[in-house]
Amino acid sequence: MHIAVIGAGVVGVSSAYLLARAGHRVTLIDAEAAPGRGASAANAGQLSWAYGDAMASPALLRHLPAILAHRDPAFRVRLRLDADFLLWGLRFLSHAPSRRWWKNTSAILRLADESRREMATLLAEADLTFDYRVAGKLHLYPDAPSLAAARPTVERKRQMGLDQRILSRAEAEAVEPALKKYQGDVAGAVYTPDDALGDAAAFCRQLTDFAAHRYAISRAFGKRVVGFEQHAGRLSAVRFADCEPLPVDVAVVTAGPLIRTLTAALPEARAVQPVAGYSLTVPWQQGAPHVSLTDVKRKLAFAAIGYRFRVAGLADIVTPGSGFAQDRFAILRETARAVLPGCFDQAEWSQHWSGERPMTPSSHPLIAPSRKIRGVYVNAGHGMLGWTLALGSARRLADMLA
């Protein structure tokens, strides 16, 4: 079976690899000249096997008035009179009640576990260099009530077999001594020793090369897909903006946030809302943390990725494709400088980036056949956790196609 995988971010590259490993003939397509240039380019790098918390939650619902009143700099929401956006917003809110939140979160955690196992298999098979490391992660809570509120979820995750522990600030500082200089309020932390990290963009490049050599996947970069051709009620070819169609038996759409550009052919794309975020990467220097940190109050993630140190965060629901907003990036940079003084001062070869998280209302990705065209499948909508969930989602898709 000849399968076109449309989009070479973490989800597409993982899908292409597992489909080729299962014996299919695979062509990996991307509009960009190389893999890993979209949402996967400079994310926070965290492989959050034990996080997985869905974004629509009772806590976010309580916080919504402050977000809409622009009182929390971590979020920017611009309401739009657009039917798809309003429907997405209503569906998002319907996922916020406690029971639905846990149903979504536990489903995401199961998928993350499948990813973790696929990652172990991949690392045993391939010698990939993407600064992978089991760094552990500390979620920092600003005060005793917020730390206490985290406890029931930690207990539930422990019942699922995940290793999470509640630490006092002193215990957290023993795990990561750089926290002694942390300038934000920290009452304590949730520690996940098994969480890993890695450079998602390097993973995309390396796994593409590996799959091309080991499993003979074909690469079609610099080619933008604009639609599909059908014959006798099923997919016959993938159409490009500026070259001949590619005849295929199956197409898997892994276009991340840009799946919305294919909405006319693919109604499933309406389930994906882009949520923009930012990152700043500088050289790692002595005294910066080794362990991954998430500041729960400021919604910032810090990661030491190889010789680099990165902060990522902010969640902006604005006009899709708005690009880099200087004022939003300035908030990220100034907050990071304030809480970890000295770590983000270097100007030389620092990297500024913004990307869009492809978010579904439930935060669970859509891994399913298209309702409109037989032979087309969707693997998209991985939101805040696409790097974490990519290999597990690819495994589910490969099983579906088998």
Ligand X SMILES: Cc1cc2nc3c(=O)[nH]c(=O)nc-3n(C[C@H](O)[C@H](O)[C@H](O)COP(=O)(O)OP(=O)(O)OC[C@H]3O[C@@H](n4cnc5c(N)ncnc54)[C@H](O)[C@@H]3O)c2cc1C
Binding site for ligand X (CB under 6 A): 6-12, 29-32, 37-40, 43-46, 48, 224-225, 254-258, 261-262, 277-279, 301, 312, 355, 357-358, 380, 382-388
Q: How many residues does the chain have?
A: 402
CB of 385 to ligand X, least distance (A): 4
| 57 or 388: CB nearest ligand X | 388
| 57 or 379: CB nearest ligand X | 379
CB of 317 to ligand X, least distance (A): 12
Q: What is the torsional sign of CA 124, 207, 112, 306?
A: positive
CB of 263 to ligand X, least distance (A): 11
CB of 168 to ligand X, least distance (A): 26
CB of 384 to ligand X, least distance (A): 6
Q: How far apart are CA 78 and CA 88, in angstroms?
A: 14
- At 38, is the secondary structure helix, strand, or coil? coil
Helix axes 98-125 and 10-21, enclosed angle (nearest 10): 60
| 97 or 193: CB nearest ligand X | 193
- At 142, is the secondary structure helix, strand, or coil? coil
| 308 or 357: CB nearest ligand X | 357
Q: How far apart are CA 210 and CA 163, in angstroms?
A: 32
CB of 211 to ligand X, least distance (A): 15
Cα 241-243-247 angle, rounded to 5 deg = 100
CB of 148 to ligand X, least distance (A): 26
> Could you give the C-alpha distances from 363 to 53, 134, 306, in angstroms and in order?
8, 24, 29
Residues 6 or more apart from 258 whose CB is under 8 A from it? 7, 31, 38
> Could you give the C-alpha distances from 57 to 64, 94, 296, 361, in angstroms and in order?
10, 10, 14, 11
Pick left, alpha or beta for residue 192 (phi over 0 → left; psi -120 to 50 → alpha; otherwise beta). beta
| 198 or 375: CB nearest ligand X | 198
